[in-house]
Amino acid sequence: MAAKVKVVAHNESCSLCRYIPLVDTIQGDTDEGFANVLTCLAYGAPGNIQSFTELPSVRRYSIVKGMREVQTSKKRPSRIQQRQIFTCAADPAPTISFSSLHLGIGSPTRPPYSIIIMAVPSLVAAAARRRLATSANTFSRSHLDVPSLHATRVLSRVNVASRNSVRAYRPASITAGQRRAISGTSRKRQATPASEEDFNPFEIERESDQVDVCIVGGGPAGLCAAIRLKQLANEAGNEDFRVLLLEKAGEIGDHIVSGNVLEPSALDELLPDWRSEDNPNRFANITAATVDKMRFLTEKSAIPIPAPPQMNNHGNYIISLNELTKWLAERAEEIGVEIYAGFAASEVLYTSDGAVKGVATNDLGIGRDGKPKDSFERGMEFHARCTLLAEGCHGSLTKKVIKKFDLRKDSEVQTYGLGIKEVWEIDPAKFEKGLVAHSMGFPLKSDTYGGGWMYHFGENMVSIGLVVGLDYPNPWMAPYGEFQKMKHHPFYSKYLQGGKCISYGARTLNEGGFQSIPKCAFPGGALIGDTAGFLNVPKIKGTHTAMRSGMLAAEAAFSAVSKSSDEEGAVFLYDYEDSLRKSSIWTELKEVRNMRPSFHSPLGLYGGIIYSGLEAFLFKGKMPWTLSHGKKGDSGATKPASAYPKIEYPKPDGKISFDILTSVSRTGTNHEEDQPCHLQVADWDKHAEEHYPKYQGVENRFCPAGVYEYVEDESKPLGVRFQINSQNCVHCKTCDIKVPGQDITWQTPQGGEGPKYVMT
């Protein structure tokens, strides 16, 4: 009978090929049960084969340097054990051919009947076909009797739960090797050097893949852009139009953290049935907002104040943006978007005339000393006629593009906030489903912009957090410490008492609004979503504007690419800039442009509240003036430590408040230690000499993950040394924004690393 082949992911303890995406399933015939076979296409060959059957005996094949080892277990494994029996050879041999392998159950002479090729999605299609075709003595063309080798086609037939196994966390030891070995392009190797001493691995030419549109970032903007592009392409009958999305996180959603009360207008337009009861694939984890509360907090009391109309959440939904992006990724894959999770784009590529032609991922297998290790692999280039940057707030590639094309020439400097969030499971008796509560005042001082939130969603779940404007002046202030204090206020603590904190996260957000939007189109691409700064601060919402900007950019990109030839090279999205100015994004951001900067005018906190009320209820953005954020930026707003008394924060009680390392442990963050520090400081000693005497360790306090510290060291002139614990980094980007000397640069670490957020 025909075997039904099922996907079984490698266990996370496998150091060689964790969660390698599925390319295709090739089915043959067998007269015995089910079978699962995993193939790692590493270093150009199918070097590791493991098979498992749901029969009383388990046969496992592992290939090491051309030798086959067969191990048989008499005990039938449980479902949990099925995910654990796979191991990988550390050094797969590039000379192994399919003809040497027998994947059948029982006698090794039985012809192979099924195989699952695990590698990068559609990029590998051609290579996989060629590799299988050259092994005709083992595989006949009948084994390739499937409509398509594209991952998107296979994924659309797999249930949602199984898809978790096909989004990649890729450690450095294998990622680049796999993706190069199975690249659809030809290999590009340098000539063999005269001696090993002459060989520089950094000079190996990177392999490349050509697509129509490349999107960097798997958040709401990037995913909605990808979906809209493929919708347009499929409607036009152009199914070969390639849309590729790169995401640095191990899985889509792993790096996403947000409030989040979703205004559904953009998603309703993109996917009208996204929440319909008639849609079996609907996004079900939504909670309708039912009650709005706005409070001004003093140390002990909570004073009701009127909320501006922008904060009316009738018709909105409380969600986990982390979960929504995972769902959007599934919808994108179903219609043909190629999603490569675990690929960290670290470099912008340019044509000879200066236009953007794509991006490159970072080199892997580099030691902390900057020298290549045995596992070194060059990054890969992705070329496209249009590149959309959807990196989120303060994107590392976006910074470079803005500088190169001077996109801020006609806009103000951006100002930012740091959002810190926890997800709690609380006592059902205290749960108020659909409650949306916001606060101002305590614990923040009058010279610091910010506020708290609390949303009740799902079943007994609470999202609670604090946003602190990063233009705060006091270097003794720690946003993390302020958040812990806020939770002890009676307005919040009465809900949290007896509950359990299950998740933590932190991320910066753009607060500059209308004044700080840069030019968004550049030769060869565009900025979309929060990387461009479309957050509506008074609404405390940016997901709907991010989605809409992605959709507008997609329409402009598809039009520009479709109406021109490949020979014309990179396109310029003139229509995107025009569409933005005619869209609801522009209208709503212009209307509220003066609210955020009013809090740092001579009016102060209370004057800002009054002025914002007038803008919200009376002026509605129609006044002829536009207030400024100033020219110093958030880093320049920091004053010397000597100007303020030192702040001593209460010791966490371990029930409502927690120490910072406990919170970081709830993020799931992880970075390989033997790699260059992705938090780049040219001279650590010089940094300490310039910052410590004046700011007394401000880095330790602005970071919400305990990455930076000054450690006592008598050998140093200051008596302390500057230390970076980069393995704790949750990729919030605060350091790159707030450090007074602007000498810390956040760069992408190895793909797949960083936090693994849950329900954030």
**Cα→Cα distances 250→7, 176, 342, 501, Å:** 19, 14, 4, 24
Q: Which two tokens stand for residue 159?
A: 């249930």
Rounded distance between C-alpha atoms, residue 479 and residue 702, angstroms: 6
Catalytic annotation present for 39: no
Q: Which of 114, 448, 543, 663 is catalytic?
A: 543
Q: Which two tokens stand for residue 496?
A: 């949290």
Q: Which of 507, 596, 666, 701 is catalytic?
A: 507
The dihedral of CA 562, 568, 569, 573: what is its sign?
Answer: negative
Q: Which two tokens stand for residue 535?
A: 């957050």
Q: Which of 30, 258, 396, 657 is catalytic?
A: 258
Q: Which of 17, 729, 734, 748 is catalytic?
A: 729
**DSSP character at residue 536:** B
DSSP bridge pairs for 423: 463, 503
Catalytic annotation present for 507: yes
Tell me phi and psi for residue 61, to 5 degrees. -105, 130
CB 509 within 8 A of CB 542: yes
* Secondary structure (DSSP) of 150-197: -HHHHHTTS-TGGGGGGS----TTTHHHHHHHT-SSPP--PPPPSSGG
Q: Which two tokens stand for residue 481?
A: 């410490």
Catalytic annotation present for 17: no
The gap from C-alpha 276 to its chain's centroid, in whole angstroms, comes to 27
- Three-state DSSP class for 688? helix
**DSSP character at residue 322:** H
Q: Which two tokens stand for residue 414?
A: 């951006």
Which amino acid appears at position 559 of this protein? S
60 CB neighbour count, 10 Å cutoff: 16
Catalytic annotation present for 729: yes
Catalytic annotation present for 501: no
* Secondary structure (DSSP) of 325-381: HHHHHHHHHHTT-EEEET--EEEEEE-TTS-EEEEEEPPEEE-TTS-EEEEEE---E
Which amino acid appears at position 623 of this protein? M
Q: Which of 703, 726, 748, 760 is catalytic?
A: 703
Catalytic annotation present for 107: no
Which amino acid appears at position 698 of this protein? V
Rounded distance between C-alpha atoms, residue 646 and residue 420, angstroms: 22
Q: Please classify residue 493 by burial: count the beta carbons closer than 10 Å to its beta carbon, then call 0-12 exposed, 13-18 middle and 19+ buried.
A: middle
The dihedral of CA 173, 176, 177, 179: what is its sign?
Answer: positive
CB 733 within 8 A of CB 393: yes
Q: Which of 122, 667, 732, 748 is catalytic?
A: 732
Nearest CA among 432, 100, 97 for reference residue 293: 432
Catalytic annotation present for 732: yes
Rounded distance between C-alpha atoms, residue 86 and residue 37, angstroms: 10
Q: Would you please indicate which residues are annotated as catalytic (active-site) residues?
A: 258, 507, 543, 703, 729, 732, 735
